[in-house]
Structure 1
Amino acid sequence: MSAELDPQLEEQIAAWRAYAGRRDAIAGRDVDELEDHLRDQIERLEASGLAPDEAFLVAVKRMGGIDELSREFAREHSERLWKQLMIDEPAAESSRSRALPLAVGLAVAAAAAVKIPALFGIDFAQGGDFYLRNLALLILPFLAAYFLVRRRARTATMLVVALPFVAAALVLNLYPFGTDAATLALAAIHAVVALWIVVGIAYADGDVRSSRARMDFVRFTGEWFVYLVLIALGGAVLVALTMAVFGAIGLDASAFVEEWAIPCGLAGAVVIAGWLVEAKQSVIENIAPVLTKLFTPLFTLLLLAFVVAGLLQGSLVEPVDGAPEMFGQRDLLIVFDVVLVVVLGLLLYAMSARDPLARPAWFDRLQLVMVIAAILVDLLVLIAMIGRIAEYGASPNKLASLGLNLILLANLAGSAWLQVRFLLGRTRWDRLERWQTGFIPVYLAWSTVVVVVFPPLFGYV
Structure 2
Amino acid sequence: METHPELEAQIGRWRGYLQRRQAISPADLDELEDHLREQIADRRATGLDDEEAFLVAIKRMGNLDAVSREFAREHSDRLWKQLVLVPEAAGDAGAGRWRELAVVLALAIGAGLTVRAGLSWLGSGNAFASNAGLLVIPFVTAYLAWKRRVSARLAAVLLAGFAALAVFLNAYPFSPGGSTELLAALHAPVVLWLLAGIAYAGGRWRSDNRRMDFVRFTGELAIYYTLLALGGAVLIGLTFAALQIVGADFEPALEGWILPFAVPGALVVAAWLVEAKQNVVENIAPILTRVFTPLTIAMLLALLAVLTAAGGFAEVDRGLLILMDAILMLVLSLLLYSISARDSLAAPGLFDVLQLVLVLAALAVDAAMLTAMLARIAEFGTSPNKIAALGLNLLLLVHLVRTGWLTLGFLRGRRPFGALEHWQTRYLPVYGAWAAVVVVVFPPLFAFS
Q: 1:189: how far off?
A: 1.1
Q: 1:53: how far off?
A: 4.0
Quick check: 2:140–2:271 contact (8 Å CA) kept in 1? Answer: yes
1:182 and 2:179 aligned: yes
Amino acid at match of 2:258: A
CA offset digits 1:393-427 (Å, max 9, x no partner)? 11111111000000000000000011111111111
Residue aligning to 1:22: none
Larger mean CA deviation between 280-289 and 247-256 belongs to: 247-256
Computed over aligned residues only, the root mean square deviation of the Cα atoms, in angstroms, reads 3.0
Residue aligning to 1:23: none
Quick check: 1:190–1:448 contact (8 Å CA) kept in 2? Answer: yes
Residue aligning to 2:401: 413
Residue aligning to 1:232: 229
CA offset digits 1:79-102 (Å, max 9, x no partner)? x76xx5xx4242xx2132222111
Query: Number of residue pairs matched?
Result: 409
1:301 and 2:301 aligned: no
Q: 1:59: how far off?
A: 6.6
Once residues 164 and 106 of structure 1 are traced to their aligned partners in structure 2, the CA distance between those partners, rounded to angstroms, is 19
Q: Describe the shift of the 1:59–1:416 C-alpha distance in structure 2 as closer, same or farther (beyond 3 A).
A: farther
How high is the TM-score relative to the length of structure 2? 0.84
Q: Describe the shift of the 1:272–1:37 C-alpha distance in structure 2 as closer, same or farther (beyond 3 A).
A: farther
Residue aligning to 2:287: 290
Amino acid at match of 1:229: T
User: Equivalent residue of 1:214, what SS?
Assistant: helix
Residue aligning to 2:435: 447
1:382 and 2:385 aligned: no
Q: 1:335: how far off?
A: 1.3
Amino acid at match of 2:170: N
Residue aligning to 1:349: 337
Q: Describe the shift of the 1:5–1:179 C-alpha distance in structure 2 as closer, same or farther (beyond 3 A).
A: closer
Once residues 357 and 38 of structure 1 are traced to their aligned partners in structure 2, the CA distance between those partners, rounded to angstroms, is 20
Once residues 409 and 161 of structure 2 are traced to their aligned partners in structure 1, the CA distance between those partners, rounded to angstroms, is 38
Match among 46, 65, 88 for residue 91 of structure 2: 88
Match among 299, 315, 323 for residue 327 of structure 1: 315
1:169 and 2:166 aligned: yes
Q: 1:281: how far off?
A: 0.8
Once residues 429 and 383 of structure 2 are traced to their aligned partners in structure 1, the CA distance between those partners, rounded to angstroms, is 25
Residue aligning to 1:110: 111
Once residues 425 and 360 of structure 2 are traced to their aligned partners in structure 1, the CA distance between those partners, rounded to angstroms, is 19
Once residues 109 and 329 of structure 1 are traced to their aligned partners in structure 2, the CA distance between those partners, rounded to angstroms, is 42
User: Equivalent residue of 2:202, what SS?
Assistant: coil
Q: What fraction of aligned residue pairs are identical, expressed as a percent? A: 43
Once residues 70 and 202 of structure 2 are traced to their aligned partners in structure 1, the CA distance between those partners, rounded to angstroms, is 20
Residue aligning to 1:401: 389
Q: 1:252: how far off?
A: 1.1
Q: Describe the shift of the 1:297–1:35 C-alpha distance in structure 2 as closer, same or farther (beyond 3 A).
A: farther
Once residues 34 and 338 of structure 1 are traced to their aligned partners in structure 2, the CA distance between those partners, rounded to angstroms, is 44
Contiguous gaps of at least 5 residues in structure 2: 1-26, 40-47
Q: 1:263: how far off?
A: 2.0
Amino acid at match of 2:167: L
Once residues 106 and 212 of structure 1 are traced to their aligned partners in structure 2, the CA distance between those partners, rounded to angstroms, is 27
Q: 1:33: how far off?
A: 4.2
Amino acid at match of 1:144: T
Residue aligning to 1:131: 128
User: Equivalent residue of 2:96, what SS?
Assistant: helix
Quick check: 2:172–2:448 contact (8 Å CA) kept in 1? Answer: yes
Amino acid at match of 2:255: E
User: Equivalent residue of 1:207, what SS?
Assistant: coil
Once residues 167 and 288 of structure 1 are traced to their aligned partners in structure 2, the CA distance between those partners, rounded to angstroms, is 36
How high is the TM-score relative to the length of structure 1? 0.81
Once residues 229 and 148 of structure 2 are traced to their aligned partners in structure 1, the CA distance between those partners, rounded to angstroms, is 27
Q: Describe the shift of the 1:129–1:216 C-alpha distance in structure 2 as closer, same or farther (beyond 3 A).
A: same
CA offset digits 1:38-64 (Å, max 9, x no partner)? 999x9xxxxxxxx9545x489779xx7
Residue aligning to 1:264: 261
Quick check: 1:38–1:60 contact (8 Å CA) kept in 2? Answer: no
Once residues 257 and 405 of structure 1 are traced to their aligned partners in structure 2, the CA distance between those partners, rounded to angstroms, is 39
Amino acid at match of 2:51: D
Q: Describe the shift of the 1:242–1:232 C-alpha distance in structure 2 as closer, same or farther (beyond 3 A).
A: same
CA offset digits 1:130-168 (Å, max 9, x no partner)? 211211111111111111111111112112211111011
Once residues 59 and 424 of structure 2 are traced to their aligned partners in structure 1, the CA distance between those partners, rounded to angstroms, is 21
Amino acid at match of 2:344: P
Residue aligning to 1:459: 447
Quick check: 2:307–2:316 contact (8 Å CA) kept in 1? Answer: no
Residue aligning to 1:433: 421
Match among 384, 389, 392 for residue 380 of structure 2: 392
Once residues 421 and 235 of structure 1 are traced to their aligned partners in structure 2, the CA distance between those partners, rounded to angstroms, is 45
Q: 1:35: how far off?
A: 7.2
Q: Describe the shift of the 1:34–1:297 C-alpha distance in structure 2 as closer, same or farther (beyond 3 A).
A: farther
Q: 1:67: how far off?
A: 8.9
1:30 and 2:27 aligned: no
Quick check: 2:359–2:404 contact (8 Å CA) kept in 1? Answer: yes
Q: Describe the shift of the 1:108–1:53 C-alpha distance in structure 2 as closer, same or farther (beyond 3 A).
A: farther
Q: Describe the shift of the 1:95–1:174 C-alpha distance in structure 2 as closer, same or farther (beyond 3 A).
A: same
Once residues 103 and 69 of structure 2 are traced to their aligned partners in structure 1, the CA distance between those partners, rounded to angstroms, is 26
Q: Describe the shift of the 1:162–1:261 C-alpha distance in structure 2 as closer, same or farther (beyond 3 A).
A: same
Amino acid at match of 2:298: L
Q: 1:307: how far off?
A: 2.6
